[in-house]
A and B are shown apart, each in its own frame.
Chain A
Amino acid sequence: MSRKLAVYWGCFTSTKQYALELSTRRVLESLGVDIMELKDSSCCGYPYRGVRPKLWTFLAARIMALAEDQGYDYIVPVCNGCYNSLIKAKHYISENKKLLDEINGYLREEGLVYRGKTRVVHVIEYFHDYYDLKSLKEEVFNSERRKLKITTQYGCDAIRPGEIPRFDNPRNPQKFENIIEALGFTAIRDYSRRLDCCGAPLMAVNPELGLKVNWLKLRSAKMSGAELLVTTCQYCFEMMDSRQESSESIMGEELGVPVMYYQQLLGLCLGLSEKEVGLNFNMSPIEFFLEELKR
């Protein structure tokens, strides 16, 4: 059976977080999944949900209307922000007929129509429930990896607000840990700031505060005893990996937490090279983990 997947890359991944796009592409290829590109796509509107709410709903509805138009039952946004943007806008529009008509008025100018039929699937949800845990295990599981302990960063946008239906329990999600254990690793399922924010949304208005939030979160992850932290969110990744050093210098204490994308970790387990999954872009100290993984 050939598998197909419509992926929506979003702005941040396709303009900066190349490691996420690279690793996602290579991993899906290795797993035999054909990537269908969402044609004519644009920003999902998420940054404007506060300052220009209508612009947000229009841009989010546009992405889902494109998916409908191109015949996809569901799409996977690789970005946490895009995921939340789409499911929130969908929820919001479904409760407001006036807004729906207004948005469709704009979309019609481009020959599109929003019906709210497309399912929006999170990356973690995709591996857990669509590609499915059993197939993932058959493909990748290796019990020798059990000695390595890994913990997670879901990212707020994956799980909250929980009043909009999510792929997992918003107060104690487990699916991310499950897809890590499906590769053979031991998942650490708790640390004190596990479901907290990484501070990324503050970087535009109050970077120092954002970096402090990040440091507290990383320290808490470190105290869990994990040898690696994985995430699927590129905002969290940028904070926890690339800005870890800045956070350390603001707080005056080093942490040295290795950080990777889940797709990078999965790629390594599938036998892809470090370069193929873009590990040369990770700035956190991942060397030790990589050595342990090879042993």
Chain B
Amino acid sequence: MSAILKEIIGLQDPDVCYQCRRCTSGCPIAYLVKDFRPHRIVAMVNLGFIEEVLRADFIWDCTRCYKCTEYCPQRVAPSDIVLSLQALCVERGIRFPDEYRNMILRISRTGFSFEEMEVADREMEIYDRKSLGLPPLTPPSKIDIVGKIVLSLGGIKE
């Protein structure tokens, strides 16, 4: 297995997988997506087909529910492998969903990943924090310092 992947995965060892398929049998995505087979992803990584998996769209179909990891008799963590593959995709510039970029930029300005929204209730009446009597949201007092670190760790230039 590639060293770079190993460093990202960290806490567990995929090499000990013996392909029992317990991960796949309980996976809610394998139930719906034919190509998504956690045991096969582990096998491909172990056999060194990392480039192939990195370019497969299905690695973005993982819900990160960790069921596969929980029930693995060998303590392999297929979900962590998928997450590492996603991280590697981003690092190599193969794919970095725009949504993430926008969210990281927003943290650097406001401290939060999401924008404060107006929300409609059942009667289609619109509310926000103020009209609901909730205290105002404020950025961290040292947002300039926090923002800079966030952008640098997020690998984003403004």
Contact = CB atoms under 8 A, between A and B. Distances in A.
Interface in B25-56: 28-29, 31-33
Contacts, number: 166
Contacts of B79: 161
A42 B140 contact: yes
Given A41-B111, A156-B64, A282-B122, A15 B117 contact: yes
A202 B36 CA distance: 14
A180 B35 CA distance: 40
Interface residues of B, number: 62
Interface residues of A, number: 62
A197 B67 contact: yes
A18 interface: yes
A144 interface: no
B87 interface: yes
A210 B29 CA distance: 9
Nearest to A202: B63
Given A40-B142, A213-B29, A280-B122, A197 B104 contact: no
A92 B11 contact: yes
Contacts of B8: 53
B114 A12 contact: yes
Most buried by B among A52, A96, A170: A52
B16 interface: no
A50 B87 contact: yes
Given A48-B104, A195-B67, A209-B33, A109 B154 contact: no
Contacts of A34: none
B129 interface: yes
A206 interface: yes
A187 B99 CA distance: 39
Nearest to B120: A281
Contacts of B3: none
12 contacts: A14-B137, A15-B114, A42-B112, A52-B90, A62-B146, A92-B11, A106-B149, A161-B77, A199-B63, A204-B99, A205-B97, A217-B28
